[in-house]
Amino acid sequence: MEEITGKSITGMVTIGPLRIFRRKGFEVKEEKVERPETEVARLDSARNAAAARMKEFYQEAISRVGLDNAAIFKIYQQMLTSSEFIDSVRAMIRNQSINAEAAVAQAEKNFSEVYGTDPDAYMASHISDIQEIARILLRTLRQKKALFSGEEPCILYADDLTPNETIQMETGKILGFITKEGTPASHTAILARALGVPAIVATGKDIEDSFDGKIAVIDGFSGTVYLEPTEGILSVMKEKQDQSIRLKELLQQLKGLPSVTEDGKKVEIAANVSSASDLAAVLKNDAEGIGLFRSEFIYMGRDSLPTEEEQFNIYKLALETMAGKRVIIRTLDIGADKEASAFHLPKEENPALGLRAIRICLKQPDIFKTQLRSILRASAYGRAAIMFPLITSVWEVWKAKEILNEVKMELDKKGIAYDHHMEVGIMIETPAAALISDKLAQEVDFFSIGTNDLSQYTLVVDRTSRVLSEFFNPYHPAVMKLIRMSVENAHKEGIWVGICGELGSDLSMTEAFLRMGVDEFSAAPYSVLPLRKQVRSLNLSEKK
Ligand code: PEP
Ligand code: MG
């Protein structure tokens, strides 16, 4: 038996045969070519094919691991479309009359040599992106798909996995991951969390090929991997595995129970969704409603705007599926990291500070009105609520409500049914909104706090940045102060307040948020039952 330790990603135990994934290196031979332009054309066609693949991966990754974590594929797509690296490969083919493969390999080597020793963390991460682009291009030029697809369920070992590799894994067959490198924020870790399987990263130890096919155990509670475990270890681990399965079952028993603390404070635990395909998970996890329907996903990944009818059908399906439970539809939150080509948004220096979300809607009321009409019409089929994103000023709420009223009047004239009492709320996700939440609370029926953007805009850190992660601290006292202030102001005006950003699903924060007075949590569907368990275990009457 061999024992290795590393950083654990999920507290779970898994047992199964080990499969070793080794990245196949590409042996690149330099050849002289007579017509360099033919090689440039070959490069361009591989580049276009690879960029199109990255676009598909981006869409797929959004639903698997969320928008922020999917962003890397967007970066790859952009680098393949136009970058210094690609310019350098082209120049090399033309100046040296060499084949595309040799130029890619040589350019990658040059970039690594020039920038590889740069102490700047940004450059280090840029180099690893260039290395990945080179691998993708070489694989495409050779039309190879050297990726893992296991025949039977297994625990996968790799030195590390790139995002491009993880997205192509046949994930249904993976019981867990072990990687020599990586961090809890690496792509292997993100994928493991999304799949709900254990992973141990950063073991610092290579596993020899002789272990391929042998039994391995991942103990995600202690961060230990056992290779070819002894009978004794195997039976202890099986018991631990049974215990964690029992915990999962225990969570299942919480279905149908109220989300109420020991001392009787009742809260609502709802789910965040991005599309109709998430509805099954919402029901399976017994969410008490949909606290955030990210409607912008209906607009993304297509070249034309969705029609009123198309949107109406999606919202109606969500409302009927939720059968009377509240469904909060957030109006389109396009812009910044959520690109939708149909909007033809201008290129901006700082898109996160630019034309996005409610700003687009107020500037293009026709698009806004189409969405509002579809939501209002769907509201006749359940309990819909509407929510406006990225609010910073009271006038924006007035204007958005004015447009909503115009649409209501148009529907009234035509005798089209809708819910006349539909709640209207706003996201509190900018420091400005939190700071004037006393005024905003007089205008709406509820607040939902978006801790992702609230942290980004308070801390001045791009939420998608991979090099600034140590500066992105959503627990920062400034963020907490803004949350507390918003909750207090909401309650002073007698409206309810929820949290729909990532921080809402952080169980270590549940008690603090409840003590602040938060009335609702909305999180990924798989977080609903753990949150209910946490709420039910708390007693707020005990002084802290
Ligand atoms: C947020 O900003 O916290 C939020 C919930 O909205 P999104 O993540 O979609 O921007
Ligand atoms: Mg947001």
The CATH number of whichever domain residue 107 belongs to comes to 1.10.274.10
HEC string of 359-426 equals HHHHHCHHHHHHHHHHHHHHHHHCEEEEEECCCCCHHHHHHHHHHHHHHHHHHHHHCCCCCCCCEEEE
Query: Which amino acid is it at 458?
Result: T
CB atoms within 10 A of CB 446: 21
Residue 415 lies in a domain: yes
- Reply yes or no on whether 500 is catalytic: yes
Asked whether residue 290 is domain-assigned, the answer is yes
Res. 186: pLDDT tops 70: no
Q: What is the CATH number of the domain that holds 527?
A: 3.20.20.60
Domain identity same for 228 and 132: no
Residue of 126, 154, 187, 361 marked active site: 187
222 and 332 share a domain? no
The whole-number average pLDDT for the span 55-69 is 74
| Tokens of residue 220, six digits | 């995600």
Q: Which of 90, 99, 92, 164 is nearest to 132 (CA)?
A: 164
Residue 146 has pLDDT above 50, yes or no: no
Rounded distance between C-alpha atoms, residue 373 and residue 377, angstroms? 6
Question: Which structure tokens are listed for 475?
Answer: 């627990």
Which residues form the domain of 456? 265-536
148 confidence band (pLDDT: 50, 70, 90): low
187 belongs to the catalytic site: yes
Ligand 1 atom closest to the Cα of residue 502 is: 3
Short-list 73, 52, 78, CA closest to 140: 52
Euclidean distance between CA atoms 425 and 441, whole angstroms: 9
- Residue ranges in 66-209 assigned as alpha helix (H): 67-81, 84-96, 100-115, 121-141, 163-167, 187-195
Rounded Cα gap, residues 390 and 432, in angstroms: 10
Q: Judge contact between 101 and 141, C-beta under 8 A.
A: yes
Q: Are residues 222 and 303 in the same domain?
A: no
pTM here?
Answer: 0.71
Average the pLDDT over 473-488 and give the result: 97
**Overall domain count for the chain:** 3
**127: CB partners within 8 A, 6+ apart:** 111, 112, 115, 116, 118
Strand order in the sheet with 13-21: 2-5, 224-227, 215-219, 13-21, 154-158, 174-179, 199-201, 7-8
The verdict on 384 and 433 lying in the same domain is yes
CB 259 within 8 A of CB 266: yes
R_g (Cα) of the chain, nearest Å = 26
- Assess whether pLDDT exceeds 50 at residue 374: yes
Q: Is residue 544 part of a domain?
A: no
Alpha-carbon span 295 to 275, nearest angstrom: 7
| Distance from residue 249's CA to the centre of ligand 2 (Å) | 33
| Region 114-134 average pLDDT | 76
Instruction: Rank 176-190, 332-346, 457-471, 473-487 by mean pLDDT and report only the highest.
Output: 473-487
Last residue in a domain, options 141, 159, 181: 141
Higher pLDDT, 542 or 455: 455
Catalytic residue, candidates 126, 154, 361, 500: 500
Residue 48 vs residues 16, 83, 131, 136: alpha-carbon distances, Å: 40, 13, 18, 12
Residue 260 falls inside a structural domain? no
Which of 333, 429, 502 most suits a substitution to test ligand 1, by most atoms within 8 Å of the C-beta?
Answer: 429
The answer as to whether 245 is a domain residue is no
For residues 296 and 443, membership in a common domain is answered with: yes
Question: Can you tell me the distance from the alpha carbon of 121 to that of 524, in angstroms, rounded to the nearest whole number?
Answer: 31
Q: For residue 443, which of 379, 480, 407, 493 has the smallest C-alpha distance?
A: 493
What atom in ligand 1 is closest to the CA of residue 451?
3
Same domain, 43 and 191: no
Q: Identify whether residues 100 and 206 lie together within a single domain.
A: no
What does the pLDDT look like over 298-316, one tens digit per residue? 998 788 999 999 999 999 9
Q: How far is the CA of 28 from the centre of ligand 1 (A)?
A: 45
Mean pLDDT of 173-188: 80
Q: Is residue 243 part of a domain?
A: no
Specify whether 320 is located in the same domain as 209.
no
421 and 402 in one domain? yes
Ligand 1 close to Cβ of residue 429 (< 6 A): yes
Is ligand 1 within 6 A of the CB of residue 500?
yes
Backbone angles phi, psi at 30, to 5 degrees: -85, 130
Are 167 and 125 part of one and the same domain? no
- Interval 99-115: pLDDT, tens: 999 999 999 998 888 87
DSSP state of 260: B
pLDDT tens digits, one per residue of 197-227: 788 988 999 999 999 999 999 999 899 999 9
Residue 294 CB less than 6 A away from ligand 1: yes
- The number of angstroms, rounded, from the C-alpha of 287 to the middle of its chain's C-alpha atoms is 19
Q: What b/e string do you get for 462-473 counting C-beta neighbours within 10 Å, with b at 16 or more?
A: bbbebeeeeebe
**Which of 98, 115, 141 is a domain's end point?**
141
Kindly report the CATH number assigned to the domain that includes residue 11.
3.50.30.10
Q: How far apart are alpha carbons 318 and 378 in whole angstroms? A: 9
Which pLDDT value is given to residue 147?
A: 54
Query: Which of 69, 333, 461 has most ligand 1 atoms within 8 Å of its beta carbon, as the pocket-test mutant?
Result: 333
Residue ending a domain, among 236, 256, 274, is 236
Q: Kindly list the distances between the CA atom of residue 71 and the CA atoms of 119, 336, 481, in Å, as whole numbers in the listed order.
A: 24, 11, 29
CA separation (Å) from 335 to 257, 293, 385, 488? 39, 17, 23, 30
Position 469 in a domain: yes
Ligand 1 contact via 474 beta carbon (within 6 Å): no
- Are 165 and 143 spatial neighbours (Cβ–Cβ below 8 Å)? no
Confidence (pLDDT) at 118: 65
501 Cα to the center of ligand 1, angstroms: 5
Is 169 in the same domain as 276? no
| Positive or negative torsion for Cα 384, 390, 392, 393 | negative
Q: Quick one: 111 and 217 in the same domain?
A: no
Q: How many angstroms separate the alpha carbon of residue 238 from the centre of ligand 1?
A: 39
Q: Give the strand pairing for 268-273 and 520-523.
A: parallel
Is 182 a domain residue? yes
Helix axes 121-141, 100-115, angle to 10 degrees: 170
Contact 398, 366 (CB under 8 A): no
Q: What is the DSSP letter of 289?
A: S
The helix (H) or strand (E) run that includes residue 15 is strand 13-21
Q: What pLDDT band is residue 168 in, cutting at 50, 70 and 90? A: low
How much distance in Å is there from the Cα of 316 to the middle of ligand 2?
Answer: 24
